[in-house]
């Protein structure tokens, strides 16, 4: 167990809908990273938050947004869902804001858009 | 951003053989070089990492070697076992808070 908690584990929804994925980092970690992993694909970095502020942005669609709350948990909001958004979404946490540290991954949320 | 490539994309070895996966990167400022293992349906987990002040690090059957001049680092697994079968990712990075780039992954299959 990495200490990073993601909910829900599975999410099934329809095209056009909006969902929220939640991530609680390891105790004491200030950074949260979000990744998308499509079937048999690599890990695509979406966005990083550090202590409540956006720190780095990857290939995140405009339909997607994220935030990190004062208690350091983070939410990834996906709207106007399309079939191609079906994927495994991981979050990871690190103690500091630098990418040059071990990433501790949650178990992921599997999103299926039908 | 960083361009990261892994080779090979798939690797099949016989149990007991060695496996080597190479990761090349473009950002000369990279100073942290981790390897992650992802078993089917599971989360990625760090298996070994190295920082730019050393050239090699070993942990039992696993080692990582770094060539900063040529901008590549490699994962070496000796005496492979079926439980080594997984996808392996590299993710070179530096201290600047820029976007993280993972390699495309290498699927290792160890045949008993």
- The pLDDT value given to residue A1: 85
Beta carbon pairs, A and B, within 8 Å: 69
Residue B98 has a pLDDT of 62
A61: left (phi over 0), alpha (psi -120 to 50) or beta: beta
Strand ranges in chain A using DSSP code E only, listed in sequence order: 5-7, 10-13, 19-24, 31-37, 44-50, 53-57, 64-68, 74-78, 87-94, 104-105, 109-113
**pLDDT number for residue A39:** 80
Q: How far apart are CA B22 and CA A21, in angstroms?
A: 34
Q: B110 vs B29, which has greater pLDDT?
A: B110
For the cut 80, the answer to whether the pLDDT of residue B10 exceeds it is yes
- For residue B102, the chain A residues in CB contact (below 8 A) are 35, 42-45
Q: Which two tokens stand for residue B49?
A: 């990492």
Cα–Cα dist B18/A74, whole Å: 41
Q: Which residues of B touch A93 (CB under 8 A)?
A: none
**Percent of chain B whose predicted confidence (pLDDT) is above 90:** 79
CB contact under 8 A, B97 and A43: no
* Predicted pLDDT of residue A10: 97
Please give the radius of gyration of chain A, using alpha carbons only, rounded to the nearest integer.
13
Condensed to tens digits (0 to 9), the pLDDT of residues A36-72 reads: 999 877 899 999 999 999 998 988 999 999 999 999 9
Q: How would you class A43 by CB atoms within 10 Å of its CB: exposed for 0-12, middle for 13-18, buried for 19 or more? A: buried
A108 interaction partners in chain B (CB closer than 8 Å):
43
Mean pLDDT of B62-71: 96
- pLDDT of B85 above 60: yes
pLDDT band at B36 (very low <50, low <70, confident <90, very high): very high
Q: What is the mean pLDDT of chain B?
A: 93
Q: B37-56: per-residue pLDDT in tens?
A: 999 989 999 999 999 888 99
Q: Which of B9, B28, B30, B1 has the alpha carbon at shortest distance from B103?
A: B9
pLDDT at B97 over 80: no
What confidence tens digit (pLDDT) does each residue in A17-37 have?
999 999 999 999 999 999 999
Residue A85 sits at φ, ψ, to 5 deg, of -80, -10
């Amino acid at each position: 167990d990495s200490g990073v908690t993601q909910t829900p584990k599975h999410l099934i929804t329809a095209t056009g809908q909006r969902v929220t994925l939640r991530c609680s980092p390891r105790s004491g970690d200030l950074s949260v990273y979000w990744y998308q992993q499509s079937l048999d694909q690599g890990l695509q970095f979406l966005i990083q938050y550090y202590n409540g502020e956006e720190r780095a942005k990857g290939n995140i669609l405009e339909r997607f947004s994220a935030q990190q709350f004062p208690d350091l948990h983070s939410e990834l909001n996906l709207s106007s869902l399309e079939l191609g958004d079906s994927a495994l979404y991981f979050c990871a946490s690190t103690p500091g804001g630098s990418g040059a540290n071990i990433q501790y991954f949650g178990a992921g949320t599997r999103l299926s858009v039908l | 951003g960083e361009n990261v490539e892994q080779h090979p994309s798939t690797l099949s070895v016989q149990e007991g053989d060695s496996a080597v996966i190479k990761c090349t990167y473009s950002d000369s400022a990279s100073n942290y070089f981790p390897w992650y293992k992802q078993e089917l349906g599971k989360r990625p987990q760090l298996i070994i990492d190295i920082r730019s002040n050393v050239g090699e690090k070993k942990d039992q059957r696993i080692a990582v070697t770094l060539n900063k001049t040529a901008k590549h680092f490699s994962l070496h697994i000796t005496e492979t076992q079926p439980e080594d079968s997984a996808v392996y990712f590299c993710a070179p990075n530096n201290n600047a808070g820029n976007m993280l780039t993972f390699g495309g992954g290498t699927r290792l299959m160890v045949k008993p």
